[in-house]
Chains A and B, each alone.
Chain A
Amino acid sequence: MERFYMEKAFVTILKVLSWLLLISLFVFTLYPVIYTLLGSLKTNAELTLGKSILPEDPQWVNYIKAFKDANFFQYGLNSLIVSSATMAIAVLTSSLSGYVLARYKFAGKKLMLSTYQAMMFVTIGPVALYPIMNMLSKIGMEKSMLSLILVLTGGQITNVFLVMGFVQRLPRELDEAATIDGCSIFRVYGQIILPLTKPILGVVALFTFRNTWNDYITSLILTMSNRKLTTLTVAVVQLKYSVWAAAEWHIMLAGASLAIIPVLSVYIFTNKQFMSGLMEGAVKG
């Protein structure tokens, strides 16, 4: 009998502890974001000396300053254009490759698949950007936005495999009939495969947009020779190196908020797709 009660007490304590841990995880996760959003409305003095987490008197002027003086409107626009274009190109190219790999036999297919698979595990880090930049400047494209977009699109190994896996799970009859009827591969792709693969293409689009919007190193290097192309993420981080950095925490946080608010608002409506998309990749990938 005594043992039974001890066990019960033990289980209760364990339950309480695990809830406490879960709650601390929530606080830990939310705190930096809340600090950023609320801090963006404080004065610099409030940020560095104040103790309250709430702003005394919301300083919307911080945002005006960020937009006007720090040129964040332009950078935000750059980010939006670059991320959207990268997303579109990534969806198009990965779906083309994924579909062909899932459905057709061709010379070099095995080699292509094994090279892609091997490259998933080979990484030389951002050093790769040097030869790429070098090549771009040889053909006079080191200052163009298109270069930034294409480099951010990249080899897309994961996306190709995601689409390939998805197409392989579609019943073959759907597109085979059309092929036999004499439809060209392009038509089968455009009229049958594209509509059917919408769910996985949505995942590819969402993740590409997120990666591009958030990217720091690639965007930093590709915009070095043309500052006009600077993206929002790069511009925000560069504030750390401005001469007035110590006196401009409020502008830094306003900038950081500008960089995270668009993604957060998209996330409110798409968090289910984000998480199920990741599961899709995890279970079948």
Chain B
Amino acid sequence: MISKNKIKQKGQIYLMLSPNLILFFTLSVYPIIWVIRFMFYQYGGPGTGEPIFIGLDNFRRIFTKDPIFWKSVINTLVYAGGKILLVLPLAFFAAMMLTKKNLKGVGAFRAILFMPTILSSAVMALVFYLLFNAYNGEINKYLMTLNIIDQPINWLSAKNAMKVIVITSVWGGIGNYMIYFIAGLQGISNEVYESADIEGANFTQKLFCITIPMLGPVLKMIMMIAIVTAFQDMSSIMVMTEGGPINSTMVMFLYAYQFFFPISPGSLVSTQFGYGASVSFVSACIVGIITIAFLRFSRKLDEIY
């Protein structure tokens, strides 16, 4: 009798897990298996003939004959580096300012800084695209009214576009990381600061000897999230510059994407599914390597403290 119940229970367990498991396998696992299979093929898509097995040729092409891919890797590093170096200090600063006990309306201030997080990055990228427009954009209008520049700056040129992309992503990212930092700061007990005050520690001493070391584990997690997210960002780039001009804002995953889908309705796609699969595989590996390297590095930091 008991065993019968047990079997029934097992059945129910798997039944309850199944909706999520099915979604997980078809939407998360299956595409990866597909990519791993097709990265060994030359395949132009339906109607272009059967996929041809070509072994490691796609990888040979990536590592020896594809400067645009490597440019996109550099761009991704520049983008992620720029975003993280601006977002994290600003978010930390905002969190420090907005955890003060005696500050009235703290909730509303936090809510304002967190607001960009709830808005569509694609829609807001369109707005930033208009703001930074060379001829009619508000930014140039302000700079010219204030006599800072006499000629409109072409913000979305090959030289400047990446800066604008980073600014847009910083705008969208501060609130999120501010909340993570606030969560971390609230975890540090007040007594520590009180005893430091009694000892006569000043602000900088408290910051470097209490706040930052005690944030340790949270800080590690925040940086981890920041890295993984920044390497994946692409929808705002897609909307603002489509990776251009002349690939100056092309990032890895956008580069892989354009072998499958058009970046904008007008743009041409040369569907190369096999090659695209290997590009996305290599990109995924690069993100993986950087994540693991960061984890190793942060473990070293733990040992020092």
Chain A 106-138: CB-based contact to B (< 8 A → 1; otherwise 0): 100000100110010111111111111001000
Inter-chain contacts of A112 with B (CB < 8 A): 17, 21
* B261 part of interface (Cβ distance < 8 Å): yes
B74: Cβ under 8 A from any A Cβ: no
Chain B contributes a number of interface residues (CB within 8 A of A) equal to 94
Let me know if B126 and A155 touch, CB within 8 A: no
Q: Please report the C-alpha to C-alpha distance between residue A191 and residue B127 in the assembled complex, in whole angstroms.
A: 47
Chain B residues within 8 Å of A121, by CB: 228, 287-288, 291
Identity of the chain B residue whose Cβ is nearest the Cβ of A268 in the assembled complex: B111
Would B253 and A154 count as touching, CB distance under 8 A?
no
Q: Does A88 contact B (CB under 8 A)?
A: no
Q: What is the distance, in angstroms, from B282's C-beta to the closest C-beta of chain A?
A: 10
What 0/1 readout, one digit per residue, does chain A (90-118) give for beta carbons within 8 Å of chain B? 00111011011100101000001001100
Q: Which residues of B contact A101 (CB under 8 A)?
A: 17
Given contacts A29-B113, A185-B16, A279-B183, contact A122 B131 (CB under 8 A): no
**Smallest beta-carbon distance B273→chain A, Å:** 7
Of the listed stretches A59-67, A170-178, A236-244, name the one at the interface; the rest are far from the partner chain.
Answer: A236-244
User: Which B-chain residue is minimally distant from A116 (CB atoms)?
Assistant: B24
- Which of B180, B234, B273 is close to A126, meaning CB atoms less than 8 Å apart? B234
Given the contacts A35-B127, A263-B118, A125 and B14 also touching, CB distance less than 8 Å: no
What is the 8 Å Cβ interface bit string for chain B, positions 14-39, against chain A (1 contact, 0 not)? 10110111011011111110110000
Could you say which of A125, A217, A236, A275 has the most chain B C-beta atoms within 10 Å of its C-beta?
A: A125
The reply to whether B20 and A18 form a contact with Cβ atoms under 8 Å apart is no
Q: Judging by beta carbons under 8 Å apart, are B30 and A131 in contact? A: yes
**CA separation between A4 and B243, bound complex, in Å?**
55
The reply to whether B123 and A236 contact each other, CB–CB distance below 8 Å, is yes
| Given the contacts A155-B23, A237-B126, A25 and B174 also touching, CB distance less than 8 Å | yes
Chain B residues with CB under 8 A of A115: 29
Q: How does the 8 Å CB contact mask read for A147-159 relative to B, with 1 for contact and 0 for none?
A: 0001101111100
**Contact, CB under 8 Å: A263 / B119:** yes
Report B-chain residues with C-beta under 8 Å of the C-beta of A122: 32, 284, 288
Query: Which one of A35, A155, A237, A278 lies within 8 Å of B24 (CB-CB)?
Result: A155
CB-based contact A150/B239 at 8 Å: no
Q: How many interface contacts (CB-CB < 8 Å) are there between A and B? A: 267
Q: Is A143 an interface residue (CB 8 A)?
A: no
* Complex contact B119–A29 (CB within 8 A): no
Residues of A close to B228: CB separation below 8 A: 121, 123
| Alpha-carbon distance A25/B31, docked complex (angstroms) | 40
Task: Indicate if the CB atoms of B16 and A26 lie closer than 8 Å.
Answer: no
Check A1 for interface membership: any CB of B closer than 8 A. Answer: no
With A51-B141, A282-B221 given, is the CB distance from A256 to B174 under 8 Å? no
Q: Which of B130, B141, B264, B288 contacts A249 (CB 8 A)?
A: B130
Query: In this complex, which of B138, B174, B231 has the most chain A Cβ atoms within 10 angstroms of its Cβ?
Result: B138
Question: Which residues of chain A are near B280, meaning CB under 8 Å?
Answer: 124-125, 127
Tell me if B209 is interfacial: C-beta within 8 Å of chain A.
Answer: no
CB 8 Å contact bits of A245-256 with B (1 = contact, 0 = none): 000010011001
Q: Give A110 to B262 CA distance when docked, in angstroms.
A: 40
Residue A28 at the chain B interface, CB threshold 8 Å: yes
Are A151 and B118 within 8 A (Cβ)? no
Assess whether B200 is interfacial by the CB under 8 Å rule. Answer: no
- Please provide the chain B residues from 104 to 129 with a CB less than 8 Å away from any CB of chain A in the complex: 107, 109-129
When distances are taken between beta carbons in the complex, the residues of chain B under 8 Å from A6 are none
- Nearest-neighbour CB distance to chain A for B178, whole angstroms, equals 9
CB distance from A197 to the nearest CB of B (A): 14
Across the interface, name the chain A residue whose C-beta is closest to B141. Answer: A51
Q: For residue B231, which residues in chain A have a CB less than 8 angstroms away from its CB?
A: 123
Q: Which chain A residues in 28-58 approach chain B with CB under 8 Å?
A: 28-30, 32-33, 35-36, 47-49, 51
CB neighbours (8 Å) of A104 from chain B are 9, 13
A282 touching B218, Cβ below 8 Å: yes
B265 touches A241 (CB 8 A): yes
* Nearest 3 Cβ contacts at the A-B interface: A125-B253, A216-B122, A128-B31
30 residue pairs from A and B, CB less than 8 Å apart: A14-B203, A18-B93, A18-B97, A25-B174, A51-B145, A96-B19, A97-B21, A101-B17, A106-B10, A106-B13, A121-B287, A123-B287, A124-B35, A125-B234, A126-B253, A127-B35, A130-B273, A131-B34, A131-B35, A154-B28, A184-B12, A185-B9, A221-B261, A233-B120, A233-B123, A237-B125, A249-B130, A271-B107, A272-B107, A283-B218
Known: A121-B228, A154-B23, A260-B120. 14 other contacts (CB 8 A): A18-B93, A32-B124, A47-B130, A93-B23, A121-B288, A125-B283, A155-B23, A215-B120, A216-B235, A249-B136, A264-B115, A271-B111, A274-B117, A278-B179
